Amino acid sequence: MDFFTGIDQHLGVLRRTLGDVPAEGLARAVGALPDDVVVRVLAEATAVVNAADAVRTVAAGVVAARSGRDAGHAGLAQVRGHRSPVTLVQEITGGTKSDAIRQVRLGEALLESEPAVDDEPGTDTSDVAADPVAEPWHAPLGAAVLAGVITTTQQDAIRRNLGDPPSGEPGTVDA
């Protein structure tokens, strides 16, 4: 299933359940629902939020990639008056600096784990040969985020607690 098709399906359930309720009437509308429907609304809304968070995290990674040192003053963040991609992400999202750092870090990891394709976004790449370069160890985590299996917060916790695997360099200790 396409990424946005899944989001549309979750939004459709919410719309059918709640109707076109005005923002100021949302609490009343949800409060009037039976328990099992409230739980379903919560699950559907969470699915939408997690999918949107994945999009935001990928975009933060792209901002970071386009704001690298090699871009100098022509980098995306710098052109918009920011010293770093983190401050640009923080300004746009309205979150804390630590949230912006996390989004940039995870976004860079998602970009690193997704194979590069020269086609336009949204095109079918099923016939593209796999890149012979080995994918990073954390690629399955990125795939799980994009598939909606885990959240970006869970991805961050897993990566931070596992740490990077041994490099295989001479002189390193194998656990």
Residues 6+ apart with CB under 8 A from 88: 63, 67, 76, 77, 80, 82
- Local confidence band at 19 (pLDDT 50, 70, 90 cut-offs): very high
Select from 113, 109, 114, 96 the least CA-distant residue to 159: 109
Name the packing angle between helices 85-93 and 35-65 (round to 10°). Answer: 150
Instruction: Evaluate whether 108 touches 64 at the Cβ level (below 8 Å).
Output: yes
CA distance 137 to 172: 18
In this predicted structure, what is the pLDDT of residue 171?
Answer: 55
pLDDT digits (tens, 9 = 90+) for 96-153: 999 999 999 999 988 887 765 444 555 554 554 554 557 887 888 888 888 888 888 8
CA distance 48 to 147: 12
**Averaged pLDDT for residues 73-97:** 93
pTM for this predicted structure = 0.74
Instruction: Evaluate whether 109 touches 159 at the Cβ level (below 8 Å).
Output: yes
CA distance 168 to 175: 11
pLDDT digits (tens, 9 = 90+) for 152-162: 888 888 888 88
In this predicted structure, what is the pLDDT of residue 118?
Answer: 47
